[in-house]
Amino acid sequence: MNLADDESHELAISLIESIEGDARALEFPRPEARRWSLDSEFTLNIVSKRAKHDNAEDRIRGLASEIIVPVMAAMAELNGYDTVGEVECDAEMEGAIRVSTIRRRERNPRNRLLAIRIHGTICKVCGEDHGRQFGFEDSLVEIHHSQPLSLSDEGRLYDPRTDLVPLCPTCHRAAHRRRPLPFTVEELQSMLSSTGDLF
């Protein structure tokens, strides 16, 4: 901050002054040279009495964009920016054809059809049918194995009524974020309800 040039100080002050008067209570030294130093007193009390936004999320977003962003930008001007080394951004080839041998577990298409027939195409976690939301005739639902195929050395019988459940691609991926045993439908529902983000 002590090494910041006059232009950085002027820009920092302009950023601070861009904060609307009724959205803030700012106290900082204003010496004639309009310069801050490390030993300057700088107090920022964020006080906003405006009822500009209807809900808490909008108030927080407004607070961030109207007050915090200008203050952080001002501090960055005074303290300088970390230089990031050159990053090479040359184009990399993608899409080349490569022959590979993979091992994958067989899935019985009959079980998928039966599971959809029994449970429907609505995700058991979020309650959505995203295929229909996009206007597709068919569903995007995936069939999740409650007991992962990977835990069995040999094939086993899966009952579509009890062992298979329809999940949207997002919830299916979330289920398999925990290994080796995936999250259960109930755990995922609890996670979603605790974040309050049910799509």
| Confidence at residue 187, expressed as pLDDT on a 0 to 100 scale | 97
Asked if 179 and 185 count as a contact pair (C-beta separation under 8 A), the reply is no
Count CA within 13 A, CB hemisphere, residue 167.
23
Strand, coil or helix: 99 = coil
- Please report, for the chain, the start and end positions of each structural domain, with discontinuous segments joined by +: 6-79, 109-195
Q: Which residue has the higher pLDDT, 156 or 58?
A: 156
Highest mean pLDDT among 79-83, 91-95, 121-125: 121-125
Q: Which residue has the higher pLDDT, 80 or 22?
A: 80
Average pLDDT score over the chain? 75
Q: Please give the C-alpha separations between residue 156 and each of 35, 44, 106, 163, in angstroms, as whole numbers.
A: 74, 64, 11, 11
| Confidence at residue 85, expressed as pLDDT on a 0 to 100 scale | 56
Q: How many residues does the chain have?
A: 199
173 C-beta neighbours (distance < 10 Å), count: 11
Q: Which residue has the higher pLDDT, 178 or 31?
A: 178
Question: What are the residues whose beta carbons fall under 8 Å from the beta carbon of 194, sequence distance 6 or more?
Answer: none
pTM: 0.50
Highest mean pLDDT among 4-18, 33-47, 168-182: 168-182
Q: 37-90 pLDDT, tens per residue?
A: 655 555 555 555 545 556 667 666 666 667 777 777 777 766 665 555 555 666
Q: Which residue has the higher pLDDT, 120 or 75?
A: 120
Query: Beta-strand (E) ranges in the chain?
Result: 25-27, 43-45, 142-145, 164-167
Report residue 119's pLDDT band, with 50, 70 and 90 as the boundaries.
Answer: very high
Strand, coil or helix: 165 = strand
Q: 36-51 pLDDT, tens per residue?
A: 665 555 555 555 554 5
> What average pLDDT does range 7-22 have in this prediction?
66
